[in-house]
Structure 1
Amino acid sequence: MVAVTQVVRHVGRGLAALGGTLALVLAGVAGPAAAEPETPVVYPSGASMTSADRLGFDTCTAPSLAALRAWTGTSPYTAVNIYFGGGNRACAQPNLTAAWVRDATAAGWRLLPTYLGYQPSCMLGDKPHRYTASTATARGTSDGTDAVARAKALGLLPGSALYADVEHYDRTDTACRTAVRRYVSAWTRTLHAAGYLAGVYVHQDSGLRDLSATYTSTTYARPDAVWMARWDGKQALTGWPTAPDRQWSLGQRAKQYRGDHDETWGGVRLNIDSDRLRAPVATVARTYRVTSPDALNARRGPGTSYAVARSYAPGTALAVVCQGAGQRVGTTAVWDRLTSGAWVSDYYVSTPSRTGYSGALPRCTYPGQVTADSLNARTGPGVSYPVTGNPLRRGALAPVMCQKTGSRVGGTAVWDRLSDGRWVSDLYVSNRSSTTWSAPVPRCP
């Protein structure tokens, strides 16, 4: 689960001009950022993050679509993991195809992609493929590269979070602890360079402890989300004993709270673990159709002032990734982003709503980790706007929807609008640029 090509992109983000000192204070930031641990994600066109706040389950073999249909509406679960790759994956996956991914998503299920690759040499178990401190970076790189290829083949789009499964291990082995950190760092950088978010599944008493201890280290890239195993029957995503609440604090946590057991819903029994999610998951396109009487123009941004990328005939099927705000057309200001990266007005697409966002589709977001200890969010794009809500903590995955020019903070006048409507200075959100706009994030209307 590492490519180091993106390390240099973020260097210098905190090198503010001397005249920006007062603005930095007013913006409520704690200091400059380095390349590590907040490596930027290089989102390609058509990428978007998808978040899940719900109960889920994980099981070794992906259930059949018939089983998911039986559990839909009868069980408390609306998310399911998929073991989509890795040399240590033990279960056959006869159901797991791109069509299964598409249909499970269309049925309302969120997917938690899990990759069971190389394991630490001191792992407490019998998995055969392992890494040491000297091979961990290479293994993290190769696993990350393979995970991205397998994710794409299944239709898991850039912006998806892919979770490396790091099983419980012996923390008394110091070299092995170093190996885990190197592997996760390599996994994270590799996924970020390919446009994916990096998650990790860890035991509360091994992997979580060690990643928490190096949360602010400039030696290791920090994963975007953690999925902790602690079978205490409690669903809480805060108050964890081995990682403080300030870490992975903004929709970046999942917990496996109950281990191996059988449950029956809708007449179908499955052997599962139970999970509570408030974390990024897979992004999968949904298919809708053009409803306009004439050809529908897809544009390079969410408005008619943007150039036409191509046109679609009435009735054409569209692969919609997410929805964002743009120019009002008819009864709505919602625009749909396609897998190509182009935008179409939702007014002419067969989504459930013609006046607002559709619940089945995620908002288009392009998150970066916060690089300040405490970053104030404001009601508008500038330090003169009031502070609102709680500050964002270091490492929080700020869900950026769009960018707009505002007051200058340090070396940039770019501000980011978050999915909750608040604004933060882009200087302290890791992305592709430290001074200007970051593609493919659109401009705010």
Structure 2
Amino acid sequence: MVPEREVIRRLVVLGGALSLLLVGLVGPAAAEPETPVSYPPGSTVTRADRLGFDTCTAPSLAALRAWRGTSPYTAVNIYFGGDNRGCRQPELTKAWVRDANASGWRILPTYFGHQPYCMFGTKEHRYGASTATSRGTADATDAVARAEALGLLPGSALYADVEHYDRGDAACRTAVRRYVSAWTKKLHAAGYLAGVYVHQNSGLRDLSDSYDSATYARPDAVWMARWDGSPSLTGWPTAPNAQWSAFQRAKQYEGDHHETWGGVTINIDSDVIRAPVASVAWRHSVTGSAALRARTGPSTTTSVVRTYEPGASLRVVCQATGQRVGTTTVWDRLATGAWVSDYFVSTPSSTGFSPGLPRCVYPGQVTTGSLNARTGPGVSYPTTGRPLSRGALASVMCQKSGSRVGTTSVWNKLRDGRWVSDYYVSNRSDTTWSAPVPRCR
């Protein structure tokens, strides 16, 4: 397969006329199917690898506390918006999200918006092929506003609920693809990842069939409903393992049943999650005896943007490696986008990364059929591990100059320590650094 960014010009027949398309000459890789995410400075992507449950009404914090130490689940969904959301949400507030996250729950945000007109069921609000794009854009716009109101930071994955529908209707299949594509592009423009909840025999099958299509933007993650009792994230009958292959899958493997843990009974569906979820700020405070300087990067050589007095409250988004200060090389990124040394912050560890706090990562989808990862930032370094498939989320932690590939000398260090050329990762630039990714030290 020839990578998209290596194609300078394409001749495409559209209605019998030849159209000339310029692909990837400058700027971001904005073309479908891999659209870039415009991450703002105070953002990160958080991923989960655990069992979870979903239920119609968000449980109380007391119920979550009862389940936290007794059940096998450590992730919970929230139906945070959408015209077709059926359940009232008396518990679901910004404080609930903050406290649930602080107690160790990962949160899977689910938006129950308009549905395809051929959906099985009685939901009132629906879209057709001619309205799907505008509806997907409108639902994503509303989802971002509701996510922000709940404290779900940019970098969070927001999942559109697409219920089971009749695949025998070709126009309806087109409508679903248009809706999901519009949902994805609007979320990416706002700094969020796009997920979708789908049935294995309708939505998943159609999105899998259009996985490489240049007509539709590809969602970052899929959450499949298949009530077969198996929590496997591979071997799915309607999507090959190479699709959504890098922390991009969740599965609802058991539906509509009651479970009791810690004396609390909840009606749930059971899920296994290996995918991006919500990012939520963590509350910590300044521990030093002097004012703490917040900087533009994870180093004391970068500019000071403000100071925090001893005891001041901080909203920590994620942690990354930077210049050593005291006993640690860990720096904390704040919701403002600024950086502070973790040595002066009340996180659990003063020597390394703290359990629970996410690493700072800014993923982009891989744009080539098979991308080799290397031990260092250059093609002279040996390859290591399995290549990344097209559409995989490359979990970029930092960037560094290396050997030139295509139009750029930028290389990305991944969460697992491997390196890939930025030329094959969809983000803000094909030629230079991509904000807000920090430089590797």
Q: Following superposition of structure 1 onto structure 2, how do residues 29-428 of structure 1 map, counting pairs within 5 Å?
A: 35-428=31-424
Contact 2:205–2:239 at 8 Å: present in 1 too? yes
Extract structure 1 runs of 4+ deviating beyond 3 A: 11-16
Q: Distance in 2 between matches of 1:46 and 1:376?
A: 30
| Alignment CA distance shift 1:327-1:135 (3 Å) | same
Contact 2:4–2:368 at 8 Å: present in 1 too? no
Report the secondary structure of 2:426's partner residue.
coil
Q: Letter of the aligned partner of 1:14 in structure 2?
A: E
Following superposition, the deviation at residue 180 of structure 1 comes to 0.1
Contact 1:61–1:93 at 8 Å: present in 2 too? yes
Following superposition, the deviation at residue 248 of structure 1 comes to 0.1
Q: What runs of 5+ residues in structure 1 fail to find an aligned partner? A: 1-10, 17-32
Q: Distance in 1 between matches of 2:100 and 2:116?
A: 33
Q: Letter of the aligned partner of 2:384 in structure 1?
A: T
Q: Letter of the aligned partner of 1:222 in structure 2?
A: R
| Alignment CA distance shift 1:317-1:66 (3 Å) | same
Contact 2:316–2:334 at 8 Å: present in 1 too? yes
Q: Distance in 2 between matches of 1:309 and 1:101?
A: 29
Q: Letter of the aligned partner of 2:6 in structure 1?
A: G
Q: Letter of the aligned partner of 1:38 in structure 2?
A: E
Q: Distance in 1 between matches of 2:30 and 2:364?
A: 14
Superposition RMSD in Å: 1.2
Do structure 1's residue 444 and structure 2's residue 440 form an aligned pair?
Answer: yes
Contact 2:30–2:36 at 8 Å: present in 1 too? no
Deviations 1:240-292, CA, capped at 9 Å, x for gaps: 00000000000000000000000000000000000000000000000011011
Q: Distance in 1 between matches of 2:69 and 2:266?
A: 16
How many pairs are equivalent?
420
Q: Letter of the aligned partner of 2:122 in structure 1?
A: D
Contact 1:15–1:411 at 8 Å: present in 2 too? no
Deviations 1:314-353, CA, capped at 9 Å, x for gaps: 0111000000010011111000000000000001101000
Q: Distance in 2 between matches of 1:295 and 1:203?
A: 53
Identical columns (%): 76
Q: Distance in 2 between matches of 1:287 and 1:373?
A: 41
Q: Letter of the aligned partner of 1:61 in structure 2?
A: T
Contact 2:4–2:367 at 8 Å: present in 1 too? no
Deviations 1:68-91, CA, capped at 9 Å, x for gaps: 000011000000000000000000
Contact 1:404–1:414 at 8 Å: present in 2 too? yes
Using CA pairs under 8 Å that are at least 6 residues apart, name the structure with larger relative contact order, 1 or 2. 1
Following superposition, the deviation at residue 92 of structure 1 comes to 0.1
Following superposition, the deviation at residue 14 of structure 1 comes to 3.4
Contact 1:293–1:314 at 8 Å: present in 2 too? yes
Q: Distance in 2 between matches of 1:326 and 1:334?
A: 6
Q: Letter of the aligned partner of 1:49 in structure 2?
A: V
Contact 2:81–2:111 at 8 Å: present in 1 too? yes
Report the secondary structure of 1:151's partner residue.
helix
Contact 1:337–1:344 at 8 Å: present in 2 too? yes
Contact 1:335–1:343 at 8 Å: present in 2 too? yes
1:8 aligned partner: none
Report the secondary structure of 1:138's partner residue.
helix
Contact 1:57–1:273 at 8 Å: present in 2 too? yes
Q: Letter of the aligned partner of 1:157 in structure 2?
A: L
Following superposition, the deviation at residue 15 of structure 1 comes to 5.5
Q: Distance in 2 between matches of 1:379 and 1:238?
A: 27
- TM-score normalised by the chain length of structure 1: 0.93
2:21 aligned partner: none
Following superposition, the deviation at residue 301 of structure 1 comes to 0.3
Q: Letter of the aligned partner of 1:373 in structure 2?
A: G
Do structure 1's residue 14 and structure 2's residue 6 form an aligned pair?
Answer: yes
Report the secondary structure of 2:179's partner residue.
helix
Q: Letter of the aligned partner of 1:102 in structure 2?
A: R
Deviations 1:121-152, CA, capped at 9 Å, x for gaps: 00000000000000000100000000000000
Report the secondary structure of 2:316's partner residue.
strand
